[in-house]
Amino acid sequence: MIGSTVEAEPLRRSLLDTAENLDELWLAGYAFLGLGWISTHDNFLEAGQLLDQAAVIFPQLDNRWVCR
């Protein structure tokens, strides 16, 4: 992974807020996945919870890997 996790976290949290406001599951899954990846360096428990949330979302999309 390239980049700063400190700089990436606010962007991913903003992405999650946007996804929730738009009720867009794909975007929320992507945001949870990204937050989980960047959280692994600081907090394994939080990272696991975020990745679990992404894992719940993606199967609901029926392999739809693009936003509407």
Q: pLDDT band for 40, please (50, 70, 90 cuts).
A: confident
Q: What is the mean predicted confidence (pLDDT) over 16-40?
A: 92
> What is the pTM (predicted TM-score) of this model?
0.81
Give the residue among 37, 38, 17 at the shortest CA–CA distance from 28. 17
d(CA 47, CA 23): 23
User: Helix H segments across 1-68?
Assistant: 5-22, 25-39, 44-57
The whole-number pLDDT of residue 68 equals: 54
Please name the amino acid found at residue 22. Answer: L
Retrieve residue 52's tokens: 């679990």
- Residue 26's identity, in one-letter code, is W
Express as a percent the part of the chain with pLDDT over 70: 88
